[in-house]
Structure 1
């Protein structure tokens, strides 16, 4: 049946870092462009609950009246994986196994979908859009610089290991220490998986990127106009950001909100490494001492040490504070810092915390979701990248905007000592450099809001996407009338 308005099918790869941006994209399509939306979710293991809502964190992400959230039946692809396979290869194999499931779900839908959107790891699903006569886009929940690097990867010489900066036509080069791991070793399966994704991007009708014109004007211009880039990738790039979750202060909770309200303006450092970020016990100890020695107010979201990864019982033990949390920290830390800060186990309402007037800095892993949440709230960042493209994110925001400071030694290369951590915290929270960073961060915040105005790049992108889908819907109706 042909729907009366466009119906979008969005496919999210496993993990909150992929699901949450899809939810925000869905909210935008629904509330501003009157789409029907179904989000299909892929999981890495059988879920204990049959309720899709349980896949989302304790935040206002879900509204059953807005969109459908469907968990695809679990597919066990472990037999196709080897113990040496890394995360990108594993994700590619796993996602491939879900193609028949999504095909079946699309075929059983009451209304024929008009639009298919997949993320970076779902490019193999794009062929389904042709089967169902859908507009097809890839949504990159990262920045345009990362997209530019990705589409250039197939040009690299597979016979030679990469040993220097990566030059991207018309764009800022990627320094050696910031390059993604798969590029370093062409003999690694992750390299092949990454190249395949890069090539698959060219089969989409366009790419959506969670950025905006003012943030990456040079890169977006090059993706549109640079001759070499256009020969590699001749599809339209739509800046649709910053897509971040709206603030709901009710989710701060009474005790945390009261504590934040009692702190001076821009005096609290928020410390979090995202939904998947963990530190070693040695690094956790150094960070704790750095926080204490700085004597700055803080909120620290603490997760189990990386040495304990996979010990499921530990995650349940972290549900409470007290003695369970203290075993991960220097002796007496919680007592000595009782009047300075809050240590929160596992999870905190990050969007709400960053939006609070008392927050003056963010010590972050620089995942793009967290980076955007910091930018839209005018909060400068202490960069602590851990994996994926996080080093690139930190470099982009430091060099282009001047609202980030990076440590002398990358956290991926060694342990940061307490003295350096203390100095970085004081620099952002107290020194003149930190004050200047906050001023610049407030300017970025202003430009982020302007992206959604009538003249803004984001509103224009969504209008063009909606018009393309309306045109496809008209074509579908015309075809249906001929058949009937």
Structure 2
């Protein structure tokens, strides 16, 4: 029996690493011929990411899977130049990747019957500059996208718009133009494009990734057919490699990095509080590892929660210093940031927390709505749990995701769709008023019966997709067959 090994290289950011680890797990658990290695480039973006990867010890992983930390580079420049750090870090880590993969190849040549053969690379969408290593080792490479299928379609569309029609994409930032993107049913306001597109330094990286997509052996996407049927169908009609929708790939509940020794009491306290709340009565506000707001915005949020009167669980984090790319930190004292008396006045209906075990909270029966930054992982977690979303995007492609959630899929309501921050400069755009927030919360919790029904139905479909003979289960089967076929084809070419 031939044995194969796939090498995953995610972007060193939390959402990307989690998604890569979970799909690597799925593969080895499905087929005992395949091993996987997930290589973590360093430095990572924040301490939370480091904490998560440190929790992935061999005892926590399935057999034939490993997570490997590459040597940490003194690569401070990547933290000062915006999105260019992605390409810069990947280029600087190439030699370390090459050294690791050379050992896999050497071991398979020494023990061809016992050791797995290098079958290929699985590269994050934004580290595709490593594709030349695949050619060097004579193996195929696949793309793994931690975003949805519609977003992949937008990348291909924008690259063609730039290369073939000579469009100046940064000019769309403040325009009223609407774009007909094949992976979307509705026209997209151009101002909702990913922030990378509007930055002239980052744009070449975005376009380069889009161009390379077409040369992969396949594209693995964290989505499922029933959720993004139009987008997936549109991709299958283009001149691109086969698409494998494998999702929803979400972090399993109870990961040790989420419930560390310092957070066990917090975890128990949060879940006990939720246990005491009526079903579907609590709105959960959480903006994940990079979500934080200015002092003025925090106060507007508090006024809205107090005025709307709904039960709430609010994860509130402190903004990092301006000019630093790092994740938010915990407030020492919430009294210092919240309106005077807010905690006392809301004690019977609300709870403000520093840290949130998001998957567990979304799965609790008390949660009736989720105010989210619309990161794709958070979106899938909410759908899987059957919880409707109120959109409040902050950075990256989150405005695009918010548009898809509200306009394309009808799985949420809008607080904002076109909001955004600069996580490098620390600048934030227009303050969202308490009236706008309150309106969105009321839509989410009081007037969203049709949306709630639709989300519950999509939740059931998401679970069926992962079951035997489900759409994502079948896509994973096709992917594994392709991986093993590529080895067989390589052997045939050697024999001929």
- TM-score, normalised via structure 1 length: 0.86
- Determine the structure 1 residue equivalent to 2:443: 427
1:50-89 Cα offsets, whole Å, 9 max, x none, are: xx9734487999814442111111233445x695x322x2
Equivalent position SS for 2:147: coil
- Determine the structure 1 residue equivalent to 2:27: 29
1: distance between equivalents of 2:325 and 2:220?
Answer: 37
Unaligned runs of 5+ in 2: 108-115, 421-428
Query: Is 1:54 the equivalent of 2:68?
Result: no
Cα pair distance change 1:358/1:387, threshold 3 Å: same
- Contact 2:46–2:327 (8 Å) recurs in 1: no
Question: How far is the alpha carbon of 1:382 from its aligned partner?
Answer: 0.7
Query: Is 1:324 the equivalent of 2:330?
Result: no
| Alignment match of 1:18 (pick from 8, 16, 28) | 16
1:174-205 Cα offsets, whole Å, 9 max, x none, are: 222311233345xx121111111111112210
1: distance between equivalents of 2:204 and 2:479?
Answer: 31
Equivalent position SS for 2:9: strand
Question: How far is the alpha carbon of 1:314 from its aligned partner?
Answer: 8.5
What are the equivalent positions in structure 2 for 1:214-293 lying under 5 Å apart? 214-225=226-237, 230=238, 233-248=239-254, 253-293=267-307
2: distance between equivalents of 1:217 and 1:149?
Answer: 15
Query: Is 1:378 the equivalent of 2:390?
Result: no
- Determine the structure 1 residue equivalent to 2:127: 122
Equivalent position SS for 1:189: coil
Equivalent position SS for 1:38: strand
- Determine the structure 2 residue equivalent to 1:459: 473
What are the equivalent positions in structure 2 for 1:162-241 lying under 5 Å apart? 162=172, 163=175, 164-169=177-182, 171-172=184-185, 173-184=187-198, 188-225=200-237, 230=238, 233-241=239-247
Cα pair distance change 1:129/1:458, threshold 3 Å: same
Cα pair distance change 1:82/1:9, threshold 3 Å: closer
2: distance between equivalents of 1:302 and 1:280?
Answer: 11
- Contact 1:363–1:382 (8 Å) recurs in 2: yes
| Alignment match of 1:334 (pick from 343, 350, 359) | 343
- Contact 2:12–2:45 (8 Å) recurs in 1: no
Equivalent position SS for 1:215: coil
Equivalent position SS for 1:244: coil
Cα pair distance change 1:254/1:245, threshold 3 Å: same
1:85-140 Cα offsets, whole Å, 9 max, x none, are: 322x2211121111111011111234432131111111011222222233311111
- Determine the structure 1 residue equivalent to 2:60: 63
Question: How far is the alpha carbon of 1:309 from its aligned partner?
Answer: 7.0
Cα pair distance change 1:304/1:439, threshold 3 Å: same
Question: How far is the alpha carbon of 1:475 from its aligned partner?
Answer: 4.7
Equivalent position SS for 2:37: strand
Query: Is 1:305 the equivalent of 2:319?
Result: yes
Structure 1 stretch displaced more, 152-161 or 236-245: 152-161
Structure 1 stretch displaced more, 190-199 or 397-406: 397-406
1: distance between equivalents of 2:221 and 2:434?
Answer: 37
- Contact 2:374–2:401 (8 Å) recurs in 1: yes
- Contact 2:320–2:327 (8 Å) recurs in 1: no
Superposition CA RMSD, Å = 3.0
2: distance between equivalents of 1:144 and 1:102?
Answer: 28
- Contact 2:16–2:146 (8 Å) recurs in 1: yes
| Alignment match of 2:365 (pick from 333, 357, 370) | 357
Query: Is 1:76 the equivalent of 2:74?
Result: yes
Question: How far is the alpha carbon of 1:241 from its aligned partner?
Answer: 1.0
